[in-house]
Amino acid sequence: MRSREDVEALLARAEEWQRHDPDPETAAALAELIAGRDECELAARFSGPLRFGTSGLRGVLGAGPTRMNRAVVRQATAGLARHLLASVPDARVRGVVVGRDTRRQSDVFSEDVAGVLAAYQIPALVLPALASTPLVAFAVQHLKAAAAVMITASHNSAEYNGYKVWWGHGAQIVTPHDTQIAAEMTKAGHADEIPVLGRPAAEQRGLWRDVSQPVEAAYGEWLATVPLHSGEGRDLAIVYTPLHGVGGLWVPEALSRAGFEHVRLVSEQAQPDGAFPTVRSPNPEEPSALERALALAEREHADLVLANDPDADRLGVAARDRLGRLRLLTGNEIGVLLGHQRLSQRRAGAPRPLVLTTIVSSPLLGAIARAHGALYEETLTGFKWIANRALELEEETGASFVFGYEEALGYSIGTAVRDKDGVSAAVAIADLAGRCRARGTTLIGQLEAIQHEYGLYLSSQRFVDIGAGTSTDGAELMTHIRGRLPQQLAGVAVSVVRDYGSGVARSAAGGQRLELPLADVLVLDLADGSRVSIRPSGTEAKVKLYFDLAETLAPGEALPVARKRGEARLSALAAAVLADVIGSKSGASERSVTGAGVTGEDGR
């Protein structure tokens, strides 16, 4: 219960924000909340500013500092501009790329970004039509810009929007840039006091430039270089859905240029629409989002299903097993297939290849990389860490980045896009599926061949939702978990606890510092080589649990037999974590399960 003084202070903060809100619509909505003295809603909107998380800001649309709105966008852009001018001497020469997707308010937000940059005398290099996230990431390097901003909330539901930032080297921002931009935001003043230069005046002064033609042409030319097996299995029948996003502007044409002419679009999801009317969540990780694509593939007897999220930086895939059944591939499976493909095509005399993934992705890519003599590392979750670490390792070692992935359907091929790119990944996986078809197998058959050669690695996930309306949040649940860490799970000793929150790995031998940056992630290494990773989601109200293990095949043993044994171990491990580590914490409940990470031809 808030005191009278607390309520009056809350109302005063809201009234001040409302007076300086540059958007009449959100100002009016906030005035209505103030007039109704809606304490709960106002407290939620004024509990603190949106913080730079996944390389930028993301939140529900609405009035107030914890929501996405024009006031927050102007403040963020002023913070970015001030930081650029303080740290990049030629920022006013190089400019900043500005793109946006199809979400609600994306067009208005991107205009504000360009207008604020222009007012700070920093050229806005604008992609005025709908753009994909990988196109914006490509444009940073192609134009040698100082930074880039993309207005998108990626795979989040329709009520969200966001503000993503890349630095001049092409990778998303990490510390210290995120904290320094946030600090400059607080110095920028009230939103209606931040200077904004309108497009006509900015164009006249050369501070608003349409860069669509050169960027789109160059990106299209680069996509044409992605296929490694051009001409093989091009009779493949493909169903594609952009899930109402911008991928439809790129993927069908890129597949056609690669020789795939049998591509059917899910017509009711083909046009960009920020309301996402046919899906509950436009996330290809969610099986329900692909229901229409899978149904069309069955009617058309398609071999392959491809799906992007709304900003086209993620890729979901379904392929047929040897019995002709369509099966969704996990992010680990797609990552292993593409990573193996890229490493297997290494040219003689090329620099040592570099591949990266995250600490919660399958260890199988590491086994493949070591067999190919590649440099391999694992980073924290989030593609900003993969891309920035790749840049560091290239400079330190002379190796050449060829592939990176995270299990949440994000893949990066080469150095043209220093971020996950669902468009180039779609071309690459179709290219590999065509090669498999030409050799009488499938993508799932290729997975089985990889398992025979490099080992049977299995992965699964659990998502624990944070109950709406409870006092529990992700950080609180992680604190609860840290207080319940057991010495064994499912009868197997926990040999090492890697706590990335404290930066220390603890075992019977003592403590050891971890090299990765601090993050709210726990990893439990078990004596039998299995692994449990736990972290709060950076974009949704849930905690994610990841389970990985390697199952040893007996001489002559069939993969399905060993897989069944490994899956039983995974299930027992997951049950033990939910019972002994998560427990009955109020507000948390198990929600969903994904299948074993790398499966075989029988579709298990």
Residues 231-246 have pLDDT tens digits of 999 999 999 999 999 9
Residue 417 shares a structural domain with residue 504? no
pLDDT at residue 163 tops 70: yes
Range in 143-152, 328-337, 440-449, 553-562 the model is least confident about:
553-562
In the beta sheet, which residues pair with residue 99?
Answer: 150
H-helix or E-strand containing 548? strand 542-551
Answer whether residue 20 is part of any domain: no
Handedness of CA 198, 202, 207, 208 (dihedral sign): positive
**Boundaries of domain holding 367:** 230-452
pLDDT surpassing 50 at residue 600: no
- The two most distant CA atoms of the chain are separated, in Å, by 75
| 321 shares its domain with 433 | yes
- The answer to whether residue 434 sits within a structural domain is yes
Q: Which residues make beta-bridge pairs with 60?
A: 160
- For residue 436, tell me if it sits in a domain: yes
| 354 and 426 co-located in one domain | yes
275 part of a folded domain: yes
- Look-up of token digits 């198990």: 590
Under 8 Å CB-to-CB from 111, ≥6 apart: which residues? 199
Closest CA to 191 of 334, 379, 361, 21: 21
Q: In degrees rounded to 5, what are phi and psi of residue 396?
A: -75, -35
Same domain, yes or no: 530 and 580: yes
CATH number at residue 532: 3.30.530
Domain boundary pick from 437, 452, 467? 452
Nearest to 226 by CA among 27, 423, 516: 423
Q: What's residue 389's pLDDT?
A: 98
CATH of the domain at 405: 3.40.120.10
The set of residues, in sequence order, having a beta carbon less than 8 Å from that of 553 and lying 6+ positions away, is: 456, 559, 562
Beta strand segments in 364-440, E = 375-379, 400-406, 410-413
In a shared domain, residues 307 and 381: yes
Please check whether residue 313 is in contact with residue 421, taking contact to mean a CB–CB distance below 8 angstroms: yes
Mean pLDDT for the stretch of residues 550-578: 93
pLDDT band of 224, cuts 50, 70, 90: very high
Segment 276-300 shows an average pLDDT of 96
Active site residues: 154
Q: Indicate whether 194 and 272 sit together in one domain.
A: no
Task: Judge whether 224 lies within some domain.
Answer: no
Residue with tokens 């061949």: 449
Show the CA angle centred on residue 111, arms to residues 110 and 114, nearest 5°.
Answer: 85
CB 181 within 8 A of CB 173: yes
Assigned domain for 223 exists: no
Region class of 425: left (phi > 0), else alpha (psi between -120 and 50), else beta: alpha
Which of 218, 246, 276 terminates a domain? The answer is: 218
Encode 469-498 in three state secondary structure: CCCCCHHHHHHHHHCCCCCEECCEEEEEEE
Q: How confident is the model at residue 537, as a pLDDT?
A: 81
Residue 349's pLDDT band, with cuts at 50, 70 and 90, is: confident
425 and 494 together in one domain: no
Spatial distance between the Cα atoms of 148 and 168, rounded to a whole number of angstroms: 8
- For 411-468, the pLDDT digits (tens) are 999 999 999 999 999 999 999 999 999 999 999 999 999 999 999 999 999 988 775 4
pLDDT at residue 157 in the model: 94
- Do 247 and 372 belong to one domain? yes
Residue at a domain's end among 436, 452, 468: 452
- Chain segment 363-402, per-residue pLDDT in tens: 999 999 999 999 999 999 999 999 999 999 999 999 999 9
CB 354 within 8 A of CB 375: yes
Helix count and strand count (H, E) for the chain: 19, 24
**pLDDT tens sequence across 47-85:** 888 887 767 899 999 999 999 999 999 999 999 999 999
Same domain, 355 and 369: yes
Section 310-316 average pLDDT: 98
Structure tokens at 456: 């049977």
Report whether the peptide linkage leading into residue 176 is cis, meaning its omega lies within 30 degrees of zero: yes
Q: Are residues 530 and 417 in the same domain?
A: no
pLDDT score recorded for residue 466: 72
Q: Residue 463: how many CB atoms within 10 A of its CB?
A: 17
CA distance 202 to 401: 38
Asked whether residue 474 carries a pLDDT value surpassing 90, the answer given is no
Residue type, 517: P
Classify burial at 200, counting beta carbons within 10 Å of its beta carbon; exposed 0-12, middle 13-18, buried 19 or more. exposed
Residue 6 forms part of a structural domain: no
E strand spans, 214-352: 238-241, 263-265, 304-308, 315-320, 326-328
β-strand 124-126 against 96-100: which pairing, if any?
Answer: parallel
| Nearest CA-CA partner of 533 in 563, 493, 588, 494 | 494
In a domain, 246, yes or no: yes
pLDDT of 471 reads 43
pLDDT tens per residue across span 79-131: 999 999 999 999 999 999 999 999 999 999 999 999 999 999 999 999 999 99
More confident residue, 579 or 370: 370
The count of domains in the chain is: 3
Q: State whether 480 and 352 are in the same domain.
A: no
Residues 6+ positions from 21 with CB-CB distance below 8 Å: 27, 30, 63, 69, 70, 71, 191, 192
| CA pair distance 226, 242, nearest whole angstrom | 20
What ranges make up the beta strands (E) of 88-247? 96-100, 124-126, 147-151, 160-167, 208-210, 238-241
| The token pair that represents 202 in the structure block | 């900015």
Q: What is the pLDDT of the chain when averaged over all its residues?
A: 92
The reported pLDDT for the residue numbered 583 is 77
pLDDT-based confidence at 596, cuts 50/70/90? very low
The answer on 420 and 272 residing in a single domain is yes
One-letter amino acid for residue 104 of the chain: R
Q: Does residue 594 surpass a pLDDT of 60?
A: no
Q: Has residue 174 got a pLDDT over 80?
A: yes
